[in-house]
Structure 1
Amino acid sequence: MPGHDRTGAVDYFSIEEDRTSAYTGYINGTHKWGLPGILGCPGCKASWSAGAKSYPSVDLTSVSSLADFEEPRAEPIEEYERLREMVRPLLPPGALVEPGTELGPLMGKAQGSFGPLVTLNPWVLLMQREALEKLQAQGVRGLKGCHTQLRFRQRNSPELLELEILPVGRLHPDCLPPERKPPCPRCGRDGLSLPDDRLLDAATVPSHLDLFRLEDFSTVIVCTERFVEACRRLNLDGVTFQPLPAA
């Protein structure tokens, strides 16, 4: 099966925070714009916002009602849908949106020492420019670094770029609850919690990307063995790689 062979080799890994790292870097930031959450969906009655999908390359300065995207909040679904359609033409190819999707550059304050790879949280990955260029030179596919607007409290601050990571691929149904409700037909919410034991659905995994986030659980950033091996050859640290089996 794709993504899994008889030798037990793992072709995919999730990228996690390195809690043993000696780097002291700290970032307090958020993206410049975003879509609102949904207030009381008429289909499932839920009020919700995900926010794990972000597109830092998106520039909303051409949008007339820019203030509608500056304040995090919940809105009736009709207003959310109206704003979603306003930004849809500006999204990168392959982008998926949901309530709380964040847009534009990462803004905020940063201090301390940073490794070549940096996790702001489980679903935001940054790299120093030199690390990104080295990985691209190694043939690692699908890496798109976007400028940040971080203010450092130190001299000789690093240039941190945020990776724009498209949502592709899903977890295998075998690791999800057998008796689960279908997603809400109005807002798309499925209400599933991320399982502890995860199995990637190999049939949904892209063949042209070495870095992506899951479509159904977007807090999970996935990379290929090619990505991991390149990082190890180049001594690029700052994160850990946890094996993610596929079937």
Structure 2
Amino acid sequence: MSRYFYLRPDKATWATYKGEFNAVPKWGLPGLKDCPGCGASWSSWGTHYPAVDLSELPERHEFEEARQEPFHEFVRLRELVRPLAPPNSKLPPGTDFGPLVGPASGRLAPFSGLESCWIVVRRDTFDSLQAAGVRGLLGCKTELKFRQKTPPELIELQIEPRGLLHRDCLPPDLAPPCTTCGRQGFTLPDDPILDEASLPTDTDLFRVGNFATVIIGTDRFKDAVEQGGWEGIKFRELPVR
């Protein structure tokens, strides 16, 4: 049986590398204003599909400005991008698409971006992860702009929502998801537990489906990172039930 690890940024490496970037995804769905089912106005964070290219979509300009929209308008925009997204994607309000865009400077660690719930790696790191047999990797070129003459090639990993947090670690009085917008509001428990029955068996890297800012790697992913000596990432093993 695989072991599963919550991936967090290793802030101790920031002083060593001193690189940074200030980026946003190129396109995104709007947030939702006043859901007719639950009344909530909300937007998700962490659901990002960098491999989904909206550049040929005639309505692409409608995905360039962060904002909130009423439910009927959100649904219209969501259905425009659904054919371009991975099959069975839920696409909640605030889902992002396309490459990271923005300025970057300095020397980045082999793994960066985790503080924003992304994983950006150098090309050599990505190639080595693939060579080590890490499953399910999808790498997408970023559009980060460096000032130096020979900028590094940076790859963002597309990490899709798959498994779930187990019901045992959630509040006992938690209401079910809204049947209209899908929102289920709760804070991340101090001691997360993963739902074994929901976990994917074909990838070594995924987001938690009901808390997309939580990125999970298997022991195969952890072993590849540690054997490569790559910095910028910390591992916290989570129980499975």
TM range (shorter): over 0.9
- 8 Å Cα contact 1:25/1:113 also seen in 2: yes
Which of 177, 186, 189 aligns to 1:192? It is: 186
Cα deviation for residue 94 of structure 1 reads 4.9
Cα deviation for residue 38 of structure 1 reads 0.5
- 8 Å Cα contact 1:23/1:238 also seen in 2: no
- SS of match in other structure, 2:104: strand
Which of 62, 65, 71 aligns to 2:59? It is: 65
- 8 Å Cα contact 2:109/2:232 also seen in 1: yes
* Aligned mates of 1:55, 1:37 — CA distance in 2: 16
Which residue in the other structure is 2:220 paired with? 226
Which of 2, 16, 19 aligns to 2:11? It is: 19
Whichever residue aligns with residue 36 of structure 1, its letter is P
* Aligned mates of 2:175, 2:117 — CA distance in 1: 25
* Aligned mates of 1:112, 1:94 — CA distance in 2: 39
CA displacement 1:100-123 (0-9 Å, x = unmatched): 000111100111111211125342
Cα deviation for residue 96 of structure 1 reads 2.9
**1:36-185 map, 5 Å:** 36-185=30-179
- SS of match in other structure, 2:121: strand
Could you tell me the percent identity over the aligned residues? Answer: 48
* Aligned mates of 2:63, 2:45 — CA distance in 1: 13
Whichever residue aligns with residue 6 of structure 2, its letter is S
1:213 aligns with 2:213: no
* Aligned mates of 1:227, 1:120 — CA distance in 2: 15
Whichever residue aligns with residue 65 of structure 1, its letter is E
- SS of match in other structure, 1:170: coil
- 8 Å Cα contact 2:8/2:114 also seen in 1: no
Which structure has more helix as a fraction of its residues? 2
Which of 24, 28, 35 aligns to 1:30? It is: 24
TM-score by length of 1: 0.93
- 8 Å Cα contact 2:204/2:217 also seen in 1: yes
- 8 Å Cα contact 1:94/1:166 also seen in 2: no
Whichever residue aligns with residue 15 of structure 1, its letter is L
Cα deviation for residue 229 of structure 1 reads 0.6
- SS of match in other structure, 1:16: strand
Which residue in the other structure is 1:7 paired with? none
Structure 1: stretches of 5+ with no match in the other structure: 4-10
* Aligned mates of 2:88, 2:207 — CA distance in 1: 12
- SS of match in other structure, 1:221: strand
Which of 228, 232, 243 aligns to 2:237? It is: 243
Equivalent residue pairs, number: 239
TM-score by length of 2: 0.96
Which residue in the other structure is 1:8 paired with? none
CA displacement 1:150-194 (0-9 Å, x = unmatched): 001224322111000110000111110111111111111111111
* Aligned mates of 1:124, 1:208 — CA distance in 2: 20
